[in-house]
A and B are shown apart, each in its own frame.
Chain A
Amino acid sequence: MRVTAPGTPLLSVRDLSVSFRTEAGLVRAVRSVSYDVAPGEVLGIVGESGSGKSVSSLAVMNLLPGHAEVTGSARLNGQELIGQSDDALSAVRGSRIAMVFQDPLSALTPVYTVGDQIAEAILVHETVSRGEAMRRAVDLLHTVGIPNAAQRATAFPHEFSGGMRQRVMIAMAIANRPSLIIADEPTTALDVTIQAQILDVLQTARRMTGAAIVLITHDLGVIAGIADRVSVMYAGTIVETGSVDDVFYRPRMPYTLGLLGSIPRADAGERQPLTPIEGTPPSLINLPTGCPFVPRCPMAQDICRREEPGLLPIAGREPADTQRAACHFKDDIEQRQLTSRDIFPAPLPSSDAVRSVPREQRQQMLVVQDLVKSYPQMKGAVLRRKVGEVRAVDGVSFDIREGETLGLVGESGCGKTTTIMEILNLGRPASGHIAVLGHDTARMSGAEKFGIRRDLQVVFQDPMASLDPRLPIGEILAEPLRAHGVAPERVSARVRELLTLVGLRAEHVNRYPAAFSGGQRQRIGIARALALEPKILVLDEPVSALDVSVRAGVINLLERLRDQLGLSYLFVAHDLAVVRHIGNRVAVMYLGRIIESGDVDEVFDRPAHPYTQALLSAIPLPDPHKERARVRIVLKGDLPSPANPPSGCRFRTRCQKFANELTEPQRQRCIDESPALLPRTGSPDHLDACHWATAVEVL
């Protein structure tokens, strides 16, 4: 039902500004943002944390905390929303504009059943009986793909998985058939296969209600697939906007260019160094005059420091063209057709000297064989007894040779972190073997373990939590050196050397971690790991906590260090695009087992296992044409409990091949027999664990 004439915007936001008074000063979170949303269209708003993308939408809904100062205008079908009373707005919220929030774990009230919470959304706006509202809630749950909806409606949020909770959020959002849905990072906390499911549900919801969607995200890939138009936000304002194709293929603001050039691509066969944007987004307190991107922009001139550019059309385009960019040099970029590699200096491709030696002739740095790690399941409060065990890692084998990176990928709960913790533990595994530089960890003495830790170091995921906030970074870096008896007079020089090595300034040695940004702290974490000149680095999701624009810098640094210092990496990640970029080899884990492994290009280009195929198919590509043309394999359901894995092949309960292609006797084999990890596709190095493996091109 379209209530507005074509061409009239559904939502029209003009000069929206939001500021917060804090002790540190006035935070100008949103600065004069204007945009329109047409009925039924999908507008993507992209930005990094702190860019103001969420705050601007919350301001439209008047859901900001009381001390936020909001000015400007936001009209829904001509009705002003800014400055209205809570009573007036509560009639709009949930009925004409609905929201889907990021973290479905905390976004649902823990003490009410999901059915009640959806029914409440209906009852607030309509005078229907409780029973009728409840019946509709069950229908909605069914619509968003929750099995046994009638029964599940009586369950509480904590009884749902993250993906299921997000479905509940969407059911709640479409309960009153709104004309606009604002989805604020709806898939950020979810695994990639679950993300694909949720984006699917969101599309269904849109088809059903005809609602326009404002999709807020930091992930350009998510936008590419479903948005019609994109706005890019930076430092509280929109710096570029236009159709998806224009912004992705013809970006005219250096920040957009840099952002697109800095994301690794899962579909990129030939590996090119990423173009990192140096520096970090500016603080929104006391923002200097001029363009906020100046400190990070290689094109910046005097005029950029003097005045902030407006969001203006690009010269020489058709009058109907909707692309706008906020850059003094946008026309220059247009005329010269500049790309991110022209503007941002990319590092030179590093040498593959070590890896030019055939793999078999290189030394085995780390060997893991049939590794098992199980946790007992206990029952009873007083007399605890073992009632079973959870095999978090169940027979994992791989090896890493000199100078190469093995990417260990899988979704949360697959056992990848448990695997690396077992390796770092240097103990005797419950079953199987671990050998570091040829030494079996089960037979190592305490002194040997201490020695081998020099060669095996780790970088953790969260650079905020993994550095002691009370030690200056010089001390943090000196600690491993002292612990391993490096001469005191050498320590200080080495610390400075390390800081320079990871691209930080040596004179910052006395600063505390709090003085550094996320990306810089991760560099400190890497420097700490490198202090003892290790041969192997275990990297546990080293870039997943970082903002998109600083990620590229850290990835490039890791690549450079590997090739410069001849390191070997065990790179654990859930982001397959990052693994494709930095990895040489990849192992895919599912429910405690490796289900496919081999050379990165081989596995990404010709995945043989249905799970790998689904995983790759679920990755959103930051390429609108490709993204629209793709047919996704969307997996059913959630990861089964590792305490009670399915018999035979562990993936069969969610396997698209099992469900759609196999014959009954073939299925029986999947149920009865657990497939071994074997070469089945012709290449002796490409292993998979599927009885019916066939290599397919997915990306």
Chain B
Amino acid sequence: MAAFLLRRLVYLLCLVVVSTSVAYLLAATQLRPRARYEGRNPPPPVAVVDARLDELNMNDKVPVLTRYRRWGAGLLRGDLGRTIDNQPVNAEIGRRMWVSLRLVVVGAVVGTLLGVAAGAYGAVKQYQLADRVLTVSSFVILSIPAVVLGVLFKNAGIGLNNALGFKLLYTTGELTPGMDPWSAAGLVNRFAHLVLPSLVLIVIAVAFYGRYQRNAMLDVLGSDFLRTARAKGLRRSQALIKHGLRTALIPMATFFAYEFALLFVGATFTERLFGWHGMGEYFVESVTKNDINSVAGVTLFVGVLVLIAGFLSDLAYAALDPRVRV
């Protein structure tokens, strides 16, 4: 087992190196940081721009492989270079990743749990009213773009505040400026900021995971071992949860691990709408700003996340399914 996991780790590391390199080369050849300076009025002298771009290792007059080598050398020292605004990428990612984590962790955990529950329930009640309601509402939610859903929730929150006459839920940022983030009042304030964006993430996750979990559960429902469990004297609900759901979770482990990791940088619209300056926002901004090092840095970050997710899913699979433990 240990040998198997080690092999997987090496394989995933190679994957990260390849994907990051490809991302860097693509960004370095396709993005044009120079345009940022050329567009200014009056345009700065070419020599000044070149010097500035050289400093950032983004000068398109330097051969791309030279720049890649220089970036790679920095990477080996643990330095992801500087953003186009001449800030260290490390610091930027270091700050933003926690913002993202604080935003998505509640949404992801609650969304997954509710999604599993909704999917399993829908499967057990297949073709009955509850299942049909869940199915229809899931498809409605999945067909609404995340940005629209975000706006709806934001407006609902504002409407609620207006109706109450005071600000119960906040719609921007993660903390009211000036508050002590770790005091009791600060934590309540954080929570009031977190409710609306989390709801958006939860609703989407429930709709999405629920569909997958329903199918996985349906595969298990007809199993003979469920009948055996009931023949032993377990009630239907006990048998369904202990023997049915437990087995139906196996194929979902991989799926959840990857979805979790990718939500880190995938909650772009929610971050932007609710004014959380996280990784998703960073990624979109770095592309629009022609910020080569940031794009490469975010890609590396995602790559490492996928690596961790892959590793975790293998571990989870082995933990859930004794048949793969050899």
Contact = CB atoms under 8 A, between A and B. Distances in A.
Interface stretch (A27-35, A85-93, A430-438, A676-684): A85-93
6 contacts: A90-B230, A90-B234, A107-B228, A108-B228, A109-B246, A111-B320
Contact of B236 (A86, A92, A108, A121): A86
Interface string B222-264: 0111011111111110000001001100100000000000000
A93 B232 contact: yes
B159 to A, nearest CB: 42
B322 interface: yes
A101 B320 CA distance: 25
B62 to A, nearest CB: 39
A169 interface: yes
Given A109-B243, A111-B247, A156-B322, A91 B233 contact: yes
Interface in A73-130: 86-87, 90-95, 98-99, 101, 103, 106-113, 120-121, 124-125
Nearest to B321: A111
Interface in A406-421: none
A86 B235 contact: yes
A107 B232 CA distance: 12
Question: How many residues of B sit at the interface, in one of the four size bands?
Answer: 20 to 34
B230 A107 contact: no
Contacts of A103: 224
Contacts of B243: 109, 112
Given A109-B243, A111-B247, A158-B323, A101 B233 contact: no
B7 interface: yes
Contact of B229 (A109, A110, A125): A109
A156 B323 contact: yes
B233 A109 contact: no
A688 B199 CA distance: 77
B140 to A, nearest CB: 27
Nearest to A158: B323
A93 B224 contact: no
A101 B232 contact: no
B232 to A, nearest CB: 4
Contacts of A90: 230, 233-236
Interface of B: 7, 223-225, 227-236, 243, 246-247, 250, 320-323
Interface centre among A61, A90, A99 (most CB of B within 10 A): A90
A111 B322 contact: yes
B233 A95 contact: yes
A381 interface: yes
Interface centre among A109, A110, A124, A158 (most CB of B within 10 A): A109
Contact of A93 (B231, B321, B323): B231
Contacts of A99: 228, 231
Interface centre among B232, B247, B323 (most CB of A within 10 A): B232
A121 B323 contact: no
Chain B interface helix/strand/loop/mixed: helix
Contacts of A125: 233
B235 A87 contact: yes
B15 to A, nearest CB: 16
A63 interface: yes
A101 B228 contact: yes
Interface of A: 61, 63, 86-87, 90-95, 98-99, 101, 103, 106-113, 120-121, 124-125, 156, 158, 169, 172, 176, 381
Nearest to B234: A124
A153 to B, nearest CB: 14
Given A63-B227, A169-B228, A381-B7, A110 B233 contact: no
Contact of B250 (A87, A98, A111, A156): A111
A98 B230 CA distance: 10
A92 B232 CA distance: 9
B225 A106 contact: yes
Contacts of B234: 90, 94, 120, 124
Contacts, number: 78
Contacts of A63: 227, 230-231
B236 A111 contact: no
Given A120-B232, A121-B233, A172-B232, A101 B227 contact: yes
Contacts of A98: 231-232
Identify the 9 closest CB pairs spanning chains A and B, nearest first: A94-B233, A94-B232, A99-B231, A106-B224, A121-B232, A124-B233, A109-B225, A107-B224, A156-B322
Contacts of A169: 228
A154 B42 CA distance: 78
Contacts of A61: 231
A92 B243 CA distance: 20
Contacts of B321: 110-111
B322 A110 contact: yes
B126 to A, nearest CB: 10
Given A63-B227, A108-B225, 9 more contacts: A94-B231, A94-B234, A98-B232, A106-B223, A106-B224, A109-B243, A109-B246, A121-B233, A156-B323
Contacts of B235: 86-87, 90
Nearest to A173: B231
Contacts of B228: 99, 101, 107-109, 169, 172
Interface centre among B225, B231, B321 (most CB of A within 10 A): B231
B2 to A, nearest CB: 15
A418 to B, nearest CB: 26
Contacts of A176: 233
B232 A124 contact: yes
A93 B234 CA distance: 8
A172 B235 CA distance: 16
Contacts of A109: 225, 228-229, 243, 246-247
A555 to B, nearest CB: 31
A63 B231 CA distance: 8
Contact of B225 (A87, A94, A110, A158): A110
B5 to A, nearest CB: 13
A92 B233 CA distance: 7
Contacts of A106: 223-225
A94 B227 CA distance: 12
Nearest to B128: A66
A413 to B, nearest CB: 21
B224 A101 contact: yes
Given A95-B233, A98-B231, A156-B323, A111 B224 contact: no
Contacts of A92: 233
A556 B232 CA distance: 44
A666 to B, nearest CB: 41
A61 B234 CA distance: 12
A106 B223 CA distance: 7
Given A99-B231, A156-B323, A110 B247 contact: yes
Contacts of B322: 110-111, 113, 156, 158
A22 B223 CA distance: 20
B139 to A, nearest CB: 25
A378 B235 CA distance: 46
A106 B222 CA distance: 11
Interface centre among B229, B247, B320 (most CB of A within 10 A): B229
A95 B231 CA distance: 9
B230 to A, nearest CB: 6
A381 B247 CA distance: 27
Interface centre among B225, B235, B236, B250 (most CB of A within 10 A): B225
A113 B230 CA distance: 17
Contacts of A172: 228, 232
B182 to A, nearest CB: 42
B16 to A, nearest CB: 20
A103 to B, nearest CB: 6
A430 to B, nearest CB: 29
A113 B233 CA distance: 18
A247 to B, nearest CB: 28
Contacts of A112: 243
A167 B321 CA distance: 23
